[in-house]
Amino acid sequence: MPRTRIEDMPEFKENPFRKQICEVFSEDGQGDMTFDDFLDMFSVFSEAAPRDVKAVYAFKIYDFDRDNQLGRQDIVKTVTHLTRNEMTSEEIQFIVGKIFEEADLDEDGKLSYTEYEHVISKSPDFVR
């Protein structure tokens, strides 16, 4: 199924992460999905999906540069997407700074999946 068709679905049309979602769930990473990819995506987004599975995919969606870590730019893009680009650069930088203060346990300037998981475990509604 072509990415454009998926992105135009009512369930995704307003989702600011629709491009990332398509890329993460597509077998080739380009966004076009096989039927199995499509089923996997909806399975992960179902209410019945385990929280840890949702967390893994959320991490992948937020990892814009696909380096298996959430760097500052990944978090800036995530916050920008979540707030629909309605915040100033200064406000976004403030939020990103607070996220790293709280989550970057080894202070290496990026969040590993373990650090990400630690933070979201404190906020049960985060991955719904």
Report which DSSP code applies to 106.
T
- What pTM, to 2 d.p., does this model score? 0.90
Indicate whether 93 and 128 sit together in one domain: yes
The string of pLDDT tens digits covering residues 12-21 is 889 999 999 9
- C-alpha distances in Å from residue 92, one per residue of 12, 51, 65, 85, 105: 24, 27, 19, 9, 21
Count: domains in the chain:
2
Indicate whether 3 and 38 sit together in one domain: yes
Indicate whether 38 and 76 sit together in one domain: no
Indicate whether 127 and 75 sit together in one domain: yes
Indicate whether 75 and 119 sit together in one domain: yes
Indicate whether 93 and 45 sit together in one domain: no
Q: What pLDDT sits at residue 121?
A: 86
CB-based burial, 17-36: b 16+ in 10 Å, e otherwise? bbbbbbbbbbeeeebbbeee
Indicate whether 116 and 82 sit together in one domain: yes
Structure tokens at 11: 């369930």
Domain that holds residue 15: 1-49
Indicate whether 43 and 86 sit together in one domain: no
Q: What pLDDT sits at residue 85?
A: 86
Indicate whether 42 and 78 sit together in one domain: no
Contact between 56 and 117 (Cβ < 8 Å): no
The string of pLDDT tens digits covering residues 56-72 is 999 999 999 999 999 99
Instruction: Give the chain's mean pLDDT.
Output: 93
Q: Which CATH number is 41's domain given?
A: 1.10.238.10
Q: Which own/partner contact pairs does 27-31 have at CB distance under 8 Å and 24+ positions apart? A: 29/66, 30/3, 31/3, 31/6
Distance CA 40, CA 6 (A): 14
Q: Is 71 helix (H, G, I), strand (E, B) or coil?
A: strand
Q: Which own/partner contact pairs does 26-31 have at CB distance under 8 Å and 24+ positions apart? A: 29/66, 30/3, 31/3, 31/6
Domain assignment of residue 62, yes or no = no
